[in-house]
């Protein structure tokens, strides 16, 4: 009985994210410069639906990178910022 070959999962050469097994690119969809308007040789035959899926995933990832302002304000204690005064810093000049 032949053993099934177990391939190591491939990772993006830029961000180290795992790549899909069917994807022949060396980078993930977020790092590679390919677009529907300017495809590379590997994805020039992709359908419009495939490009729409890629663009939607790229938009979702970009939206996650933008922090919610309420979360940012909670993470920094605003009461400390209100009490800060520029003259409370030590004089650094000789």
| pLDDT (tens digit per residue) in 1-60 | 445 555 778 999 998 899 988 888 899 988 999 888 999 999 889 899 999 999 999 999
pLDDT of residue 11: 92
Residue 58 lies in a domain: yes
Q: Find tokens 């663009």 and name the residue.
A: 55
Asked if residue 30 lies in contact with residue 58, where contact means CB atoms within 8 angstroms, the answer is: yes
Domain count, the chain: 1
Residue 2 lies in a domain: no
Residue 13 belongs to domain spanning: 9-85
Q: Considering the entire predicted model, what is its pTM?
A: 0.56
Residue 48 lies in a domain: yes
3-class DSSP assignment, residue 11? strand
Residue 49 lies in a domain: yes
In this structure, what token pair is assigned to residue 64? 């996650």
């Amino acid at each position: 009985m032949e053993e099934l070959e177990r391939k190591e999962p491939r990772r993006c050469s830029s961000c180290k994210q795992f790549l899909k097994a069917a994807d022949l690119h060396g980078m993930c969809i977020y790092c590679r410069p390919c677009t529907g308007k300017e495809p590379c040789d590997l994805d020039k035959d992709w359908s419009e639906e495939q490009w729409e899926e890629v663009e939607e995933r790229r938009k979702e990832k970009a939206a996650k990178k933008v922090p919610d302002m309420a979360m940012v304000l909670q993470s920094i204690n605003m009461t400390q910022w209100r009490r800060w005064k520029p003259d409370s810093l030590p004089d650094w000049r000789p």
